[in-house]
């Protein structure tokens, strides 16, 4: 089965044909180069990977907070024709997989031969997401109380999850050290210094229970993914990763979740609002959570990964602690997670680097390649409004 | 003396929520109520998120509730917080307003006293521009509770 529906013509099925990124650097590390030039460089690299000229790109997609609009990116690529441009609503990473969903929709419906989903972030030149920013909606209920960073906002939902499902600081430490260990093998990763359990517990508290090493990086860089149809990919003769499932979803009354007023329904409060998107992507792909061999789970904060395990059915309700303790999520385990180091240790590109790693795992050319990947899951978002996800098949 | 420094942001009332803030200035807590499905909701929206009705009113509530979850902020994420000691942020589930929660601070609780279930009662404190904000004080754990929640 595949996106968008089972009966979709095989020749029009969307596939990922190229991925590319700039060098990832710590915040400020790219201050000598403007963000748009990084965006263009990432797209060039993705086009090279796809075996096409960037001037062949006709579709442009991204998600909330992207600063570079398609007609400008098109000009910077000297591409003669833009036929499709769209952005997913929502701040932060919730719409990242959604931007690939848009690109897939564009090529599957003949609106573009090649579409690129892109994200560029230079926190050294622009706003810092971890600092106070005016909230356009419901800011009156947030800022005056010192609720000013995503770490504070999501630590509240994760504390409630701990209370309801019996996880603790040890589980956060296990994920932090596991993601760092993966990053150590990845030459693209910004943070490759060894991180021990003791280092984790010695790090300063940021938003209790989140310590420094529960928080993602502040990095500068750009990343892009190019989508086309199976028919075009076959003519190019490049490895093509089929998009088996791609979806966006939100449950009732979630609104902006922890980034808003925290009035989500009580029964979904301690979640990442992804049970609905999970249901859709597993149905589209016609598989069960147990059929996933490798997962990139959105890790702006380690606690979000723990909640994702439950929302995506990768563990039973209340089973996250045991799954993490088993070592299953480490390299060599039954479900390796964030195999390039994730947002935690590779780079913070609002999840686009997670999609690139999911593609590499599906192609079989990842740095820490999981053997025999048939289904590669990537999820987007943890704290924001609606969420999105992809399931990719083997190239 | 307020729980957080004067330089912190102040509320900006809108068409949707001006009555909420106006009541706070009189040290009263009012919450949006749907007169069609008889449920409370927050923050104020033009229509009820439970049923979609626009037949809405404001209802006074007791101001009692309990800590649904909390965090302790240790990192200065705003210039006004530079050098400020760690502070709590609590999600307070009100006792008599369905599942409505307010983001707030428990002004008299040390970080180590904070816990899920801590009973609290509203108080009002001035933001930097003098606007009164609803904050909370801890209640004796054995004090009688006003009502059930969802």
Average pLDDT over chain A reads: 97
Evaluate if residue A1 carries a pLDDT over 90: no
Q: Which residue out of A60, A118, A312, A348 is catalytically annotated?
A: A348
Q: Closest-CA residue in chain B for A207?
A: B73
Report residues of chain B scoring pLDDT below 50. 147-150
Q: What's the pLDDT at B150?
A: 39
| Closest chain A C-alpha to B45 CA, distance in angstroms | 10
Domain ranges in chain A are 10-128+216-393
Put simply, the answer to whether A140 touches B11 (Cβ < 8 Å) is: yes
H, E, C per residue of chain A? CCCCCCCCCHHHCEEEEEEEECCCEECCCCCCCCHHHHHHHHHHHHHHHHCCCHHHCCEEEEECCCCCCHHHHHHHHCCCCCCEEEEECCCCCCCHHHHHHHHHHHHHCCCCCCEEEEEEEECCCCCCCCCCCCCCCCHHHCHHHCCCCHHHHHHHHHHHHHHHHCCCHHHHHHHHHHHHHHHHCCCCCCCCCCCCHHHHHHCCEEEECEEHHHECCCEEEEEEEEEEEHHHHHHHCCCCEEEEEEEEECCCCCCCHHHCCCCCCHHHCCCCCCHHHHHHHHHHHCCCHHHCCEEECCCCEHHHHHHHHHHCCCCCCCCHHHHHHCCCCCCCCCCCECCCCHHHHCCCCCCHHHHHHHHHHHHCCCCCCCCCCCEEEEEECCCCCCEEEEEEECC
Which of A146, A149, A265 lies nearest to residue B4, judging by beta carbons? A146
Q: What's the pLDDT at A111?
A: 98
Q: What's the pLDDT at A360?
A: 98
The CA distance from A352 to A206, in Å, is 25
Closest by CA to A354, choosing from A384, A387, A376, is A376
Put simply, the answer to whether A146 touches B11 (Cβ < 8 Å) is: no
A168 touches chain B (CB under 8 A): no
A221 touches chain B (CB under 8 A): no
Q: What is the mean pLDDT of residues A241-266?
A: 96
Query: pLDDT (tens digit, 9 = 90+) per residue, A194-247?
Result: 999 999 999 999 999 999 999 999 999 999 999 999 999 999 999 999 999 999
Evaluate if residue A310 carries a pLDDT over 50: yes
A148 touches chain B (CB under 8 A): yes
Q: What is the mean pLDDT of residues A131-141?
A: 87
Put simply, the answer to whether A253 touches B101 (Cβ < 8 Å) is: no
Put simply, the answer to whether A205 touches B101 (Cβ < 8 Å) is: no
By percentage, how much of chain A surpasses pLDDT 90? 94
User: What are the structural domains, with CATH classification, of chain B?
Assistant: 18-138 (2.40.50.840)
In 10 A of CB A116, how many CB atoms? 31
A172 touches chain B (CB under 8 A): no
Closest by CA to B90, choosing from B104, B72, B109, B76, is B104
Question: Which letter does DSSP use for residue B2 in this model?
Answer: -
Q: Are A46 and A226 in contact (CB under 8 A)?
A: yes
Q: Closest-CA residue in chain A for B84?
A: A146
Tokens of residue A33, six digits: 């180069």
Confidence of residue A137 (pLDDT cuts 50, 70, 90): confident
Q: What is the mean pLDDT of residues A254-278?
A: 97
Report which of residues A135 and A260 the model is more confident about: A260
Closest by CA to A272, choosing from A245, A295, A249, is A249
How are beta strands A59-63 and A84-88 bridged, if at all? parallel
Evaluate if residue A24 carries a pLDDT over 70: yes
Question: Which letter does DSSP use for residue B84 in this model?
Answer: P
What is this model's ipTM? Answer: 0.96
Query: pLDDT (tens digit, 9 = 90+) per residue, A186-206?
Result: 999 999 999 999 999 999 999
Q: Are A250 and A273 in contact (CB under 8 A)?
A: yes
Confidence of residue A136 (pLDDT cuts 50, 70, 90): confident
Evaluate if residue A307 carries a pLDDT over 60: yes
> Which residues from A are below 8 Å from B43, CB to CB?
138, 141, 260-261, 263
**Exposure b/e, B14-51, CB count within 10 A at least 16 = b:** eeebeebbebbeeebbbbbbbeeeebbbbbbeeebbbe
DSSP bridge pairs for B73: A207, B87
Q: Closest-CA residue in chain B for A151?
A: B73
Q: Domain A10-128+216-393: state its class.
A: alpha beta
The CA distance from B43 to B12, in Å, is 13
The CA distance from A163 to B87, in Å, is 21
């Amino acid at each position: 089965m595949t996106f968008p529906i089972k009966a979709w013509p095989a020749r029009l099925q969307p596939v990922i044909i190229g991925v590319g990124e700039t060098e990832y650097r710590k915040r400020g590390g790219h201050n000598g180069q403007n963000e748009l030039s990084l965006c263009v460089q990432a797209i060039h690299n993705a086009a090279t990977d796809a075996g096409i000229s960037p001037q062949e790109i006709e579709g442009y997609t991204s998600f909330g907070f992207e600063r570079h609009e398609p007609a400008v990116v098109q000009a910077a690529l000297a591409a003669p024709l833009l036929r499709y441009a769209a952005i997913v609503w929502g701040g932060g990473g919730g719409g990242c997989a959604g931007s690939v969903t848009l690109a897939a929709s564009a090529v599957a419906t003949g609106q573009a031969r090649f579409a690129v989903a892109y994200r560029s972030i230079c926190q050294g030149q622009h706003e810092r997401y971890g600092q106070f920013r005016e909230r356009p909606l419901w800011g009156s209920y947030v800022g005056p109380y010192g609720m000013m960073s995503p770490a504070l906002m999501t630590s509240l939902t994760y504390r409630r999850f701990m209370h309801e499902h019996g996880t603790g600081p040890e589980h956060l430490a296990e994920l932090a050290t596991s993601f760092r260990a993966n990053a150590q093998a990845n030459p693209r990763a910004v943070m490759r210094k060894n991180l021990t359990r003791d280092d984790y517990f010695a790090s300063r508290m940021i938003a209790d229970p989140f310590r420094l090493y529960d928080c993602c990086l502040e990095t500068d860089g750009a990343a892009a993914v190019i989508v086309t149809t199976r028919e075009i990919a076959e003519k190019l003769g490049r490895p093509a990763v089929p998009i088996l499932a791609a979806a966006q979803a939100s449950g009732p009354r979630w609104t902006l979740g922890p980034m808003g007023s925290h009035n989500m329904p009580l029964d979904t409060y301690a979640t990442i609002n992804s049970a609905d998107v999970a249901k859709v992507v597993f149905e589209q792909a016609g598989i069960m959570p147990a059929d996933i061999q490798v997962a990139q789970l959105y890790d702006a904060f380690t606690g979000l990964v723990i909640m994702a395990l439950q929302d995506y059915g990768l563990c039973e309700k209340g089973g996250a602690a045991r799954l993490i303790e088993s070592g299953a999520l480490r390299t060599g385990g039954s479900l390796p997670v964030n195999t390039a180091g994730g947002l935690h240790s590779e780079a913070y590109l609002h999840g686009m680097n997670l999609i690139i790693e999911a593609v590499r795992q599906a192609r079989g050319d990842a740095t820490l390649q999981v053997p025999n990947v048939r289904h590669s899951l990537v999820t987007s978002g943890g704290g924001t409004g609606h969420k999105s996800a992809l399931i990719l098949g083997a190239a | 003396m307020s729980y957080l420094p004067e330089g912190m942001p102040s509320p900006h009332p809108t068409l949707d929520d001006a009555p909420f803030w106006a009541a706070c200035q009189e040290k009263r807590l009012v919450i949006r109520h749907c007169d069609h499905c008889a449920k409370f909701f927050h923050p104020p929206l033009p229509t009820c998120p439970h049923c979609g009705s626009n037949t809405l009113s404001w209802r006074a509530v007791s101001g009692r509730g309990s800590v649904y979850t909390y965090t302790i902020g240790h990192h200065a994420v705003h210039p006004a917080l530079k050098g400020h000691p760690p502070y709590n942020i609590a999600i307070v589930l009100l006792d008599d307003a369905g599942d409505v929660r307010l983001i707030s601070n428990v002004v008299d609780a040390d970080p180590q006293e904070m816990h899920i279930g801590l009973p609290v009662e509203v108080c009002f404190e001035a933001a930097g521009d003098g606007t009164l904000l609803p904050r909370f004080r801890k209640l004796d754990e054995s004090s009688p509770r006003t009502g059930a929640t969802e």
